Structure 1
Amino acid sequence: MRRLLLAFVVTSLFLNSANANATDTVPAYIGKHVATPEDTRAINKVIEDFQTAIKTKDRKLLSTLVLNSNILFDSPMNPEDIEYVRDKHDTTFDGLRAGGYGEFARVIGMSKEAIEERFYNVKITQDGNVAWVMFDYEFVRDGKTQNYGIETWQMMKVIGGSWKIASVMWTMNRPST
């Protein structure tokens, strides 16, 4: 037992020492991103407009926020569901749907109920002409949360200096009833 405990302590000390040495060798420029207050405001405006477009069911406004209508826009299926689809229907299925943005925009525009997506804990990381936006969300239909999770956007600064959403992925959890 003592040998096992001693081996654990020595291994822990070695790993902690190795981790400390690894962080000592990180170049000074790592973690230093190029970002401006103007870009942060512009990215926050895209976030605000995205929420407004959903709430007002404004598909045209929504379309102005994305790079193009073919962007990756989906909540990937879990591995078990992918395997089921591959076994039963399509051996090449990867868990992502084609046309995710178009379907989302159609659902938003056609919805008869009040809808909104609420964002919490928004974090923006920008480095030059690329930015990542990550937040907790809940999708609310008719005052009831339909699903919630984490959502991430990749964004890029385009000609003219505006920011566009280049991809959207999210987890989808159902509230317990």
Structure 2
Amino acid sequence: MPAEAGTAVVRAGEDRDCLVVVWEQQAAPDREFDRANDLAEGGLISCATGTSASQYEATLSALRDAAARDSREELLGALDVPLLYIDAEGNRRDLRETDFASRDFAEVFSPEMLALMRGLDLGDMTVVPDQGGFFQLGALWLRPGEPGGRPRIVTINRQALSEAARASIEQAETSS
């Protein structure tokens, strides 16, 4: 599909443009930005996630800033709780606000995860219908809590982050 098409059709009784459906849920949609940035790896952001590219970009900008300042309060405020956390060995656990003692916070928001967050770019996102958008092989997943809303972090996967780092190193070595 050409990028200038910018939208797809979703069936909801009648054919409707996904962006129009999303914009109906927003007080002040950024139509120009959304049309120009709706296409992501895996499909259209609006159709796959139920919100707009501008909502994702607002979240990504806030995460970049919070990670750059290592702002515990802002990072925790970006989470959808319970957060699915997958450690470096692949062990899964649901974390709640009370689980973020110093150790858990430092483990979840490791220097590597903060580095990933500082470099988040909408163009690097992959979307999966009804699951949200992800970065770095699934190291970080975001999903809106409501149609048209701002996405929140739903999964942090340290195992995927390590795999993405290894893949990046291997790719750099083969490119040299």
TM-score (norm 2): 0.45
Normalized against structure 1, the TM-score is what? 0.45
Structure having the higher Rg: 1
Instruction: Identify which of structures 1 and 2 has the higher relative contact order when contacts are C-alpha pairs closer than 8 Å and 6+ apart.
Output: 2
